[in-house]
């Protein structure tokens, strides 16, 4: 087995990490005829905890980020292609009820409604009978959620079947071997890329059951509630940049539980069935880290997608695949060479 792996390592591209970034980059390269080998160290990754929400219009100012419409179209086709080839279902389109936290937030939304660019994504201002919406709310279209665990399990099984994955920590063997690091927040311990300004963000989510019927829509009011079926939902997420290791805090669980109950007019008496934590690889400028090391031309990074990874990673995995295969430039907004003053 080791001999086979060594041969694959010499012939293909090494990908370090099998979270969403590493797994989808591997898939993109395989679809374009490249050989890859993934190293996974079996440590929990944030992708396994993430809700996988895809929300085109975000923040208190209702921002539609550049390229988002094209990214949405691409992500849907990308995930549906995987579903078809691997015989799974992981991509779920679902509307989002956005509840305003303040009158100011409502005013921000009204301004966006005057912009034709936003008309595809924002519906009419309206409350919902079940929901506690003091300041009103709006339905956001083209939202979705990605079942990351189903997806990652299927991709790992595919790689295992084809002898393309090794479950152990990768030890750098040669700077001549094309190696892409997709390590999530553990990038901070990698001397090759630890200079980059990553902002690890600890986040917790809970899974709850209720005897009441949940609406068939994602509910967003600063935090979010994602119905998985009529009586089960996930609720998240906390955000803390000071916690450096995944840990379960009772205060966080109670905070999320209180949020879930406060969303509805009537008591839902949620019962927590699961409590999870992970560290997101977020960045200070909200853009990912992609590109080759300035000193080692065969060593690269594909990381830093944060809470928007389900939307961003398909787009950038396709883009970076073309960088690796055809030497296309990395998009400027994502290139690590935007940090010109770093000492490598």
- Which CATH architecture best describes the domain 2-49+150-196+285-338? 3-Layer(bba) Sandwich (3.50)
Which CATH superfamily includes the segment(s) 199-283?
D-Amino Acid Oxidase, subunit A, domain 2 (3.30.9.10)
For the chain, the structural domain boundaries read 2-49+150-196+285-338, 53-146, 199-283
CB 313 within 8 A of CB 307: no
Element (H, E) at 205: strand 198-209
One digit per residue, the tens of pLDDT, for the chain of length 344 reads 333 334 434 558 999 999 999 999 999 999 999 999 999 987 778 899 988 999 999 999 999 998 999 999 999 999 999 999 999 999 999 999 999 999 999 999 999 999 999 999 999 877 677 899 889 999 999 999 999 999 999 999 999 999 999 999 898 666 778 999 999 999 999 999 999 999 999 999 999 999 999 999 999 999 999 999 999 999 999 999 999 999 999 999 999 999 999 999 999 999 999 999 999 999 999 999 999 999 999 999 999 999 999 999 999 999 999 999 999 999 999 999 999 888 78
Q: Which of 303, 309, 308 is nearest to 330 (CA)?
A: 303
What phi and psi values does residue 147 have, to the nearest 5 degrees? -80, 85
The whole-angstrom separation of Cα 185 and Cα 344 is 19
Q: How far apart are CA 71 and CA 75, in angstroms?
A: 6
Query: How many whole angstroms separate alpha carbon 30 and alpha carbon 242?
Result: 38
Query: Is there a cis peptide before residue 237, judged by omega within 30 degrees of 0?
Result: yes
Instruction: Please answer whether residues 228 and 269 qualify as being in contact, where contact means their C-beta atoms are separated by less than 8 angstroms.
Output: no
């Amino acid at each position: 087995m080791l001999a086979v792996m060594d041969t694959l390592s010499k012939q293909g591209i090494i990908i370090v990490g099998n979270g969403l970034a590493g797994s989808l980059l591997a898939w993109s390269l395989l679809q374009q005829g490249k050989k890859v080998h993934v190293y996974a160290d079996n440590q929990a990754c944030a992708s396994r905890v993430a809700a996988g929400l895809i929300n085109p219009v975000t923040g208190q100012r209702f921002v539609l980020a550049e390229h988002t419409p094209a990214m949405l179209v691409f992500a849907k086709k990308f995930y549906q292609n995987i579903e078809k080839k691997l015989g799974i279902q992981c991509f779920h389109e679902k509307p989002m009820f956005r509840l305003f936290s303040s009158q100011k937030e409502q005013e921000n939304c009204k301004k966006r409604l005057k912009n034709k660019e936003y008309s595809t994504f924002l519906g009419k201002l309206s409350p919902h009978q079940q929901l506690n919406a003091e300041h009103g709310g709006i339905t956001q279209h083209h939202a979705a959620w990605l079942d990351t665990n189903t997806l990652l399990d299927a991709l790992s099984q595919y790689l295992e079947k084809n002898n393309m994955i090794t479950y152990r920590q990768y030890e750098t063997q040669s700077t001549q071997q094309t190696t892409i690091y997709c390590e999530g927040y553990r990038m901070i311990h990698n001397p090759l890329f630890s200079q980059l300004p990553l902002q690890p963000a600890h986040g917790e989510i809970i899974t709850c059951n209720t005897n009441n019927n949940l609406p068939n829509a994602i509910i967003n009011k600063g935090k979010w509630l994602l119905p998985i079926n009529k009586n089960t939902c996930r609720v998240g997420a906390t955000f803390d940049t000071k916690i450096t290791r995944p840990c379960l805090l009772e205060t966080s669980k109670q905070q999320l539980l209180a949020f879930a109950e406060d969303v509805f007019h009537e008591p839902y008496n949620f019962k927590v069935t699961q409590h999870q934590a992970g560290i997101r690889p977020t960045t200070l400028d909200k853009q990912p880290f992609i590109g080759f090391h300035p000193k080692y031309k065969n060593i690269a990074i594909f990381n830093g997608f944060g809470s928007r990874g389900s939307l961003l990673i398909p787009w950038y995995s396709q883009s970076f695949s073309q960088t690796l295969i055809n030497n296309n430039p990395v998009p400027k907004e994502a290139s690590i060479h935007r940090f010109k003053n770093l000492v490598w």
